Structure 1
C-alpha cells in the first residue's frame, strides 16, 4: 500500500514542541509581578497544571534560567542571554545604532528604535548625547502600537482594509485622556501619517510626552522598524518636533535604506 503524503498542517503539528512552548510561556509569566513567585502563582499565570509547571521550573532551574527553593522561584541573570542573542544578531540594531547616536548628539535628545511585535511596539535600541542615560524608554519596553508614534509609523505599511481589520481586532484601551481609541479615527490618522511619511503623537501614550517618528525601510521599500524622538510637553513644543527633529529622523532613516536586507 502506498505511503500517504502528510499535509502541511500535519507537518506543522508534528514539528510543534509543546513542552518548549510551555517552558517559554512560563518564563514570560515572571514579568507579571515584582519579586519571587510561588509555583501555584506561576502555574495559574501560565495556565498549566501544577505538576507540569513544577517539571518545567525544575528543568529551567537546571539550565540556570531560574532559581528557587521549591516554594518560591525567580529568574536569574542568565535569562538575559536570550535577549542578548537577539540584540547581537539583529541587523537592524547594528545598522541603526550609529544613526541613533548621531541623531541624539545633533538634537541633544534621546532617540529610539522600535519594531512591531503583534499589536505592540518593542523598543530595541536607543541613542543619547552621552552613553549614560537618565531617562527615556528602556530597551525591551513595550507599548500598544495604535497610540504611539512609532507604532502608527509602522502600521502604515498595511493597506486600509488590512489596517481596519487589525485596529478593530486589537485592544485599544486608553492610556491617557488624550488617547484616540475609535478605530475609524485611528484609520484616518494612520492613513494621513502614511501619506506624509511621519507620525506625531501628542500625550496619547504618556500624559506629558509627545513624540515624532518615521518608518525605517529596507532596500525594497518594506517597513521594518521606526525611529523616534520625543520630549516632555512643557519643554519641547510640537512645532519644534517638526522643525528640528523630523529632518534628522528622515535623513537617518534614508541613510540606512540600502544597508538593510
Structure 2
C-alpha cells in the first residue's frame, strides 16, 4: 500500500508539472498574440517579438510555428509575422456577418450583370485566399479558382487589386516572399508584378490575363473598410474574347457601384 501511495504521489507531481508547463506555454503564446495585435498591419520580426515578450529566440520560433499552423499567426513577407485569419474572424463584432457573407450580394450583382463568374478574396500573409464565388449564367464559365484556393497575392485580378492597395513596404515584402513561386503562374516575374501594381494604381482597378489561367482575363477591385484600409478584393473572370477594353471598363464601373453602399 505504501508503494501504491508513493506512486500516486509521483504521478500527481508529474501531472502538476505538466499542467504548469502547459500553462506557461499558453501564457507565452498569448503574449506573442498580444504583441502582434498591438503592432498593427506591419507586424513584427522575431527579434522584435523576443524583445517585446522577453523570450528566447528558440522559444519564439517554436510558439510561432504552433500558432501559424493553427491559423492564429500568419507571415507578412519573409521575416514579419501578423495576426492570422482565425484572429480576424474572432475580432469581428458580435452579430456581424463575415466578409464572405457581406460580399456575396456584390458578387451576385456583378455576375448577373455580365453572366460571368465573380470571386472574392482576402489576404492570408503573402497569399490570396478565395472566400466566396458566384457562378454566372453564360454557357461558358471560367472558374479559375474555388472557395478555399490560395495562391500568391497578385497573380490573379482580385489578388492584384488587393496587393496594389497595400503600402509600398508591404508590396515589396509580399512580392519578395512569393518571387520563387511566381514563374509557375504563366511565367510571372517579380519585375512584371511590380509593373502590374503600378498600372493598377494608376487605373484604379486591376486587369490581368494569361497568368493564373491561360486564355482568361479578369478584372479586379479592392474592397476597403470605413477607414479606407484594404480588407478584401473582388474579381470577374472571362475568356479573352469576352473581355475587350470597353467591357473591362464597364465591369470596373459596375464593381465600384456595387461596392459603394457596402459598409465593411
Q: So what's the TM-score if we normalise by structure 2?
A: 0.60
Question: Do the aligned partners of residues 129 and 164 (structure 1) sit closer, same or farther apart at CA in structure 2, a change above 3 Å counting?
Answer: closer
Aligned pairs for 1:1-261 (under 5 A) are 8-10=52-54, 21=67, 24=70, 91-129=98-136, 136=143, 137-170=145-178, 171-177=180-186, 179-181=187-189, 183-233=190-240, 235-256=241-262, 259-260=263-264
Deviations 1:149-177 (A, max 9, x none): 11111112333344223322323432354
Query: Which protein shows a greater Rg?
Result: 2
User: Structure 1: 5+ residue runs without aligned partners?
Assistant: 1-5, 26-81
Three-state SS of the structure 2 residue aligned to 1:104 is helix
Q: Following TM superposition, by how much is the alpha carbon of 1:121 offset from its aligned partner in structure 2, in angstroms?
A: 0.8
Q: CA shift at 1:254, angstroms? A: 2.1
Unmatched tracts of structure 2, length 5 or more: 1-30, 32-50, 72-85
Report the Cα offset of residue 134 of structure 1: 6.8
SS in 1 for 2:236: strand
CA RMSD of aligned residues (A): 3.4
Normalising by structure 1, report the TM-score.
0.60
What displacement does 1:248 show?
1.4
Q: How many residues align?
A: 188
